[in-house]
Structure formats: C-alpha cells, structure tokens
C-alpha cells in the first residue's frame, strides 16, 4: 500500500493523516474541486434551462412559422380581396360618375319643369284675372243692356198696344173691302205671279187689283189641305201653353223647322255657325242684327289680320326652344283665330251687317244675303211669338195661315238669294225687311 494513502486521509478537512495538519495544496485543490463541482452543477442547470428555453423557442418558432404561413395565406387572400375591392371600386366609380351625370340631367330637367310650371302658373293667374275682369265688364255691360232693353220693352209694349188697335181697325176695313170685291179679284189668275202677290200682301201693298184675268173663266172651288189647316189650328190653340223651348214639338212648328227654317239657316257646305244655335237664339228673341258702319268693318278687318299673324317666338334664358306651354298656346291661338269673310257662310265680299246670338257673344259680321236669311227667320218667329202672346186672337185661322205661308215663302226667297229682286219688283226697298 502506498504511503500517500496514510498521509491523505479521507476526511473532508484535507489534513494529513499522520500529523493531522492541514495540507494547503490539498485544501486549495478541494476548494477548487468544490468550486468546479458547483460550477458544473450550475452549468448543468443552465444547460437544462437553455435546453428547455431552446425547446420552448423551437416550439414558439414552429408556432410562429405556422402563424407566418397562415398570415401569408391570409395576406394572399387579402390581396385578392383588395384587388377585387379595387375592381368593384372602379366599377362603382364609373357608376357613380354616370349617376352624377344622370342627376345633373335630372336637376336640369327639374329646373326646366319648375320654370315652365312657374310660367304656366303665372300665365294661368293672368288669364284667370283677365277672365274675372272680363266677366265683371260683361256683367256690367249686361246690366246696362238689361236696363236699356227694359226701356225698349216698355216702349215696345206701348207701340204694340197702338199697333194692335190700328191692326184691328185696318182688319175691319180690309174685311169690308174684301167682302165688297168679287171672288175673281181676290185671287191671282196667273200662277207665275203668285209669289209677288204674296209678298205684296206681306208688305201691305195692293197688287191684286193689277192682276185682272184676261178673260172671265168659270169660278172653281179651291180647297186647302185640311190636315195642314188642322195642324195650324192645333199650333194656334196649344202654343200659349207650350214653353218656347219646346215649341218645335208641335207638328206645325216641326214641319216649318225641317222644311223652311233649317234650310234657310244652312249656310253652304262649310258653315261657320251652328244652325241649331241660331234657331235657339232667334226663337228665344236674343239674336240681334244691325247694320255695320264702315268704321266697324275696318276695325273688324284689322283685328282679323292681327289675329291671323303668328306671334314671335319667345327666347328662354335656359334654352333657345320655346316652352311647351307657349307652343301649345300659340297653336291654340292660331286655331282659334277668327277667319276673314262672312262669319256664317265664309264667302269673301262686302260685309254690310253684323249679328250676335246673345249679349254675351261677340259681334259677327255678315253679308247682305246671309242677313236676309237671318231676318226672314226672325220675322217668322216674331209671328210665332205674337200668336203665343194672343195678339192675333181676333184674326181668322185662314188669315193667319196665309200670313204664315207668306213668311215661309219669304224664307224660301231669302235662301234662294232672290229676295232683293222680288222686293225690287214690288218697289220695296231691300232694307225694309226686318225694319
């Protein structure tokens, strides 16, 4: 056995086994060994910690790698979505631009419509105010006319009373004269001159005595159609109880209207006035006919020329085109513009008279032939109204029927255009009819 084993004891105090004294080198080596052991332990612990940390970091690295991969995939998806959104934004931008243009056009159209509506409202208000003012003027004029007519009616009643008394006296004298004359002198022997005789009797002229037969012929009984006389008797009897608006429901008046009045008021192929309206005005005694002066005719012709000229086109501040309302108003004004010539038949020629169906209507200018037609119908309806009023109650039915035939014959001559000639043959002024 080696002696060193005796010197180095196994005790931990690093002393000599022989002398029990501490061995410095051994103690230092033990201290160094202990220090190294501690460092080794610490190194092992640090290594384990580092390994654990390395493992943790490796795990975190894997997790981060996976997360990076996921983020890359998400980023790719987002890029795709971003590109899609960019495309959608581009499309929406184009649509937005289109919508802006459409909105601008709609705004422009809206402003145009608002301007037209404003102009239309202003025009309508102006027309409404004008209509109200015209109505007020017409009402005032109508009131003045009514007062004037009341005075004329009072005067007419006085004159009618005087004329009635004179007619009664004249009738009695004529009956005495007719009774004193032979039958051959009471009727015309020449049928071609029968119309002149009737007109002469209508105007109070005695032309029967001038038409003596060349030779005496045997007298023959001349009868009148009994049915026509019966219809006339029914008219005379029932006219007072029938309203004037329904007077044409009687057989006599219905036949007169169809056979004489309507043909007399039918002014050519293109009439400018309704025959029915004229008949209603004449029947209700609201139709006025008077002679037109030269100044009135000139003023009327000037109004016609002015109305037939189209108005100048107006310029809008927003557009050079006329507004819709102005175009429609211009077309309507051109359509409603009065035409020249006679306002009943449309013929061009001298306008000598004017008429209106009622006081609310404007005056219409006519020529002499159309005036003769209107006056002939007016005189027939004056006869009808006098019968309704009972002014002819003392006259015989045959006498009244003969006068109705003469008035119907006058309407025939008037619509045939030969009434002035027939009156001239009798030596009667053409203006005497209707006066």
- What pLDDT digit, counting tens, does each position of 116-160 carry? 898 888 888 888 888 898 888 888 888 888 888 888 888 788 878
The per-residue pLDDT for range 314-367, each reduced to its tens digit, is 555 444 445 555 555 555 555 454 567 888 888 888 888 999 998 888 888 999
Residue 250 CB partners (closer than 8 Å, separation 6+)? 231, 234, 235, 238, 239, 242
Task: Check residues 13 and 45 and name the one with the higher pLDDT.
Answer: 45
Task: Check residues 140 and 209 and name the one with the higher pLDDT.
Answer: 140
Q: Specify the pLDDT at position 128.
A: 87
- Quickly state the pLDDT bin for 104 (edges 50, 70, 90): very high
Q: Which range among 90-104, 156-170, 181-195 shows the weakest confidence by mean pLDDT?
A: 181-195
**Distance between CA atoms of 194 and 330, rounded to whole angstroms?**
56
Count the neighbouring beta carbons within 10 Å of the beta carbon of residue 291: 13
Q: Specify the pLDDT at position 307.
A: 66
The DSSP line for 234-250 is HHHHHGGGS-GGGGGGS
Q: Which range among 139-148, 169-178, 219-228, 262-271 shows the weakest confidence by mean pLDDT?
A: 219-228
- Quickly state the pLDDT bin for 189 (edges 50, 70, 90): very low
Residue 430 CB partners (closer than 8 Å, separation 6+)? 368, 419, 420, 423, 424
Count the neighbouring beta carbons within 10 Å of the beta carbon of residue 225: 8
Q: How far is CA 214 from CA 184, 188, 251, in A?
A: 11, 11, 40
Q: Residue 288 burial by CB count (10 A; 0-12/13-18/19+): exposed, middle or buried? A: middle
**Distance between CA atoms of 4 and 17, rounded to whole angstroms?**
9
pLDDT > 70 in the chain, percent: 74
Q: Are 197 and 191 in contact (CB under 8 A)?
A: no
Q: Which range among 32-36, 64-68, 216-220, 431-435 shows the weakest confidence by mean pLDDT?
A: 216-220
Average pLDDT, the chain: 79
Model pTM greater than 0.85? Answer: no
Task: Check residues 5 and 257 and name the one with the higher pLDDT.
Answer: 257
Q: Specify the pLDDT at position 405.
A: 92
**Distance between CA atoms of 70 and 75, rounded to whole angstroms?**
8
Using DSSP bridges, classify how beta strands 288-291 and 353-356 pair: parallel, antiparallel or unpaired.
antiparallel
Q: Specify the pLDDT at position 231.
A: 92
First to last CA, the chain: 191
The DSSP line for 280-336 is HHHHTT--EEEEPPHHHHHHHHHHHHHHHSPPPPP--SS-SSPPHHHHHHHHHHHHH
Mean pLDDT across the stretch 379-386? 93
pLDDT > 90 in the chain, percent: 28
Q: Residue 384 burial by CB count (10 A; 0-12/13-18/19+): exposed, middle or buried? A: buried
Encode 26-77 in three state secondary structure. HHHHHHHHHHHHHHHHHHHHHHHHHHHHHHHHHHHHHHHHHHHHHHHHHHHH
Q: Specify the pLDDT at position 149.
A: 87
Identify any residues that bridge with 16 across adjacent strands, giving them in sequence order: 8
- Quickly state the pLDDT bin for 302 (edges 50, 70, 90): confident
Cα–Cα–Cα angle for 239, 245, 251, nearest 5°?
Answer: 50
Q: Specify the pLDDT at position 328.
A: 55
Mean pLDDT across the stretch 25-54? 86
């Amino acid at each position: 056995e080696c002696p060193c084993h005796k010197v180095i004891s196994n005790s931990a105090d690093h002393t000599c086994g022989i002398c029990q004294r501490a061995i410095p080198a051994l103690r230092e080596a033990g201290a160094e060994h202990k220090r190294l052991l501690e460092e080794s332990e610490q190194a092992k612990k640090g290594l384990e910690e580092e390994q654990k940390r390395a493992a943790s970091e490796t795990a975190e690295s894997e997790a981060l790698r996976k997360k990076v991969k996921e983020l890359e995939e998400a980023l790719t998806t987002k890029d795709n979505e971003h590109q899609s959104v960019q495309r959608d934004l581009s499309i929406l931008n184009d649509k937005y631009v289109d919508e802006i243009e459409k909105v601008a056009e709609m705004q422009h159209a809206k402003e145009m419509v608002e301007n037209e509506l404003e102009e239309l409202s202003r025009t309508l208000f102006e027309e409404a105010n004008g209509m109200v003012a015209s109505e007020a003027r017409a009402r005032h004029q109508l009131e003045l006319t009514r007062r004037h007519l009341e005075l004329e009616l009072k005067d007419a009643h006085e004159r009618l009373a005087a004329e009635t008394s004179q007619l009664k006296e004249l009738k009695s004298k004529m009956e005495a004269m007719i009774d004193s004359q032979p039958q051959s002198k009471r009727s015309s022997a020449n049928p071609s001159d029968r119309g002149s005789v009737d007109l002469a009797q209508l105007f109070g002229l005695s032309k029967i005595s001038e038409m003596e037969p060349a030779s005496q012929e045997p007298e023959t009984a001349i009868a009148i159609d009994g049915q026509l006389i019966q219809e006339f008797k029914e008219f005379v009897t029932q006219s007072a109880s029938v309203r004037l608006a329904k007077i044409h429901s009687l057989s006599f008046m219905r036949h007169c209207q169809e056979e004489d009045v309507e043909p007399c008021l039918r002014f050519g192929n293109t009439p400018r006035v309704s025959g029915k309206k004229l008949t209603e005005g004449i029947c209700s005694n609201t139709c006025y006919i008077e002679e037109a002066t030269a100044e009135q005719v000139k003023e009327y012709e000037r109004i016609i020329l002015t109305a037939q000229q189209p108005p100048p086109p107006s310029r809008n501040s927003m557009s050079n085109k006329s507004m819709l309302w102005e175009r429609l108003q211009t077309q309507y004004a051109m359509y409603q513009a009065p035409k020249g010539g006679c306002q009943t038949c449309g013929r061009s020629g001298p306008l000598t008279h004017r008429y209106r169906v009622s006081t609310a209507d404007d005056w219409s200018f006519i020529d002499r032939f159309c005036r003769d037609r209107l006056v002939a119908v007016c005189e027939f309806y004056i006869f009808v109204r006098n019968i309704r009023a009972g002014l002819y109650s003392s006259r015989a039915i045959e006498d009244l029927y003969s006068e109705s035939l003469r008035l119907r014959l006058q309407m025939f001559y008037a619509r045939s255009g030969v009434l002035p000639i027939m009156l001239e043959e009798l030596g009667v002024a053409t203006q005497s009819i209707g006066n």
